[in-house]
Chain A
Amino acid sequence: MNPRAEPADRDQSDRVLVAAMEARDADALARLYDRHAARLLGVAYRILGETGEAEEVVQEVFLHAWKGASSFDPFRGTVLAWLIIATRSRAIDRLRTRRPMVTSDAAGRDPLAQVAAGDDVEAGSAAREWETLCRAAIADLPADQRRALELAYFDGLTHQEIAGRTATPLGTVKTRIRLGLMKLRERMRPYWEERDA
């Protein structure tokens, strides 16, 4: 097989499902949903702090994936990242239209709806591998960089708002965001090298 071809790697199975969705196979969408809906709902709920609205976001994201399956570019990241980016973007849009926002401390406290990372989705070892890599990368970030990224990513704060919230000069906030994201990018490099090989 051509070396340019993708190896049977961590999200190959997801990509196959997206290709099948491109061919209008609704079963593929159902399987992708079974694998990742819980993860995406966790993200949407963390941002919005409200289950009903978070579920609306998840539904929108999968419809977006169904309609835009052909726009997925595997050289720009995994299927899961594609779905997460869409989820976060939609949730932040909703959050910004209903300021004042739910604080991040209020989010994620409903244990009834939470499920353990290992038994919720059918993503299997591939998703767990991704999760482990991400958590390790984030744990290695300096606390101030991680905090700046979390406030921007989950709470939808602008860099100016982060500066106000943390009593930090604006330039320092921008630097923390840059350094934090560049470090995460470096840690996720195996994904890029795999695709660019």
Chain B
Amino acid sequence: MHSERHEELVSLAALGLPLEDDAAEYARLLEEPCPECARLLPELRFAASSLAATVPPRRPRPSLRDDLLASLGPARRPDSRRAPVAGWAFAAAAAVLFVLIALDDARLRRQREELRARNFELAQAVETSRSDLARRDLRARVLESDDVRMLFLGGKGPQPNARAKVFWSERAKRGVLVAGNLAPLAPDRQYQLWVFVDGKPVDAGVFDADPSGRALFESKDLAAIRTAENFAVTVEPRGGLPQPSGPIVLLGSPSG
């Protein structure tokens, strides 16, 4: 339980007021093991933000929005589609490849092999781009669904600092998982998402984390399940298993 003095100091801090002579006392209060006290600062900041409701909104100049989006950089715009570029490159490479084969020259044959490799890479790039677009469409469908719900998953066992959110659309029977602080895995391992139905885990798909420990993953189509009760992530052999065998690293928190 916090004292009035504590409330006073935290109130000043919540408004960003300089504590000056009270700073040392406030620092000592922060060090006290008091979960309720720790919550007070964000709660008072939130309470103070209600003052903003008394201010009339103002319409920004229209170009401000464009300036903001432009400042993100073209690589981050969702409309930047690589597929057409890759498609042109694919076509050009194929045409070049055709000419080279016709000449049947030793040097050109060597180049032909190189172009074949490049061709393969480009074909893969096209496929990846198509797949990215499909995944983006899927994400949009799940995230924009009006019945989407969010569940928090906390770190467990070997990865206590891992965290994740699952956005689940009961109607679409699909979920989108956004995770962070995931540990790197051995090449033969993958993370596997499980949906709990009637207390039993159902495979929702496998995914990898990026080098920074983040992951964005769309679940399988789980049309056959009745309803999702909870979610968990385990570490499994690459490709996943029908039933979990590895340690649970992320788990939702069902209340009783």
Contacts and interface: CB of A to CB of B under 8 A. Distances in A.
B219 to A, nearest CB: 15
Interface residues of A, number: 87
A137 B50 contact: yes
B152 A108 contact: no
A41 B17 CA distance: 22
Contacts of B124: none
A8 interface: yes
Contact of B149 (A8, A37, A85, A87): A8
Given A59-B64, A114-B56, A5 B47 contact: no
Contacts of B194: none
A22 B144 CA distance: 15
A70 B57 contact: no
Most B-side CB within 10 Å, residue of A70, A89, A191: A70
A26 B78 contact: yes
A26 B143 contact: no
B230 A2 contact: yes
B55 A108 contact: yes
Interface in A30-72: 30, 33-34, 37-39, 41-43, 45-46, 51, 54-55, 58-59, 62-63, 66, 70
Nearest to B14: A181
Interface string B58-96: 111100110111011000111000000000000000000
Interface residues of B, number: 68
A3 interface: yes
- Mostly, the B contact residues are mixed
Interface string B37-62: 00000111111111111111111110
A16 B166 CA distance: 10
Contacts of B148: 8, 12, 16
A42 B71 CA distance: 22
Interface in B14-49: 14-18, 42-49
Contacts of B205: none
Contacts, number: 230
A46 B53 CA distance: 12
Contact of A1 (B42, B61, B178, B227): B227
A86 to B, nearest CB: 10
7 contacts: A4-B253, A19-B178, A25-B139, A43-B55, A134-B52, A135-B53, A181-B14
A77 B42 contact: yes
B4 interface: yes
B45 A77 contact: yes
Most A-side CB within 10 Å, residue of B51, B72, B77, B150: B51
A1 B226 CA distance: 11
Interface string B237-256: 00000000000000011110
B8 A175 contact: yes
B12 interface: yes
Interface string A76-90: 111011001101110
Contacts of A73: 42
Interface string B137-149: 0010001101111
B26 to A, nearest CB: 13
A29 B72 contact: yes
A115 interface: yes
Given A39-B57, A87-B52, A92-B16, 15 more contacts: A1-B228, A2-B228, A16-B167, A26-B69, A42-B58, A84-B49, A88-B49, A114-B56, A117-B57, A134-B53, A134-B54, A149-B51, A150-B51, A177-B12, A182-B44
B57 A2 contact: no
Interface in A105-164: 108, 113-117, 120-121, 130-131, 133-135, 137-138, 149-150, 152-154, 158-159
Contacts of A92: 16
Nearest to B144: A16
Interface in B170-204: 170, 176, 178, 180
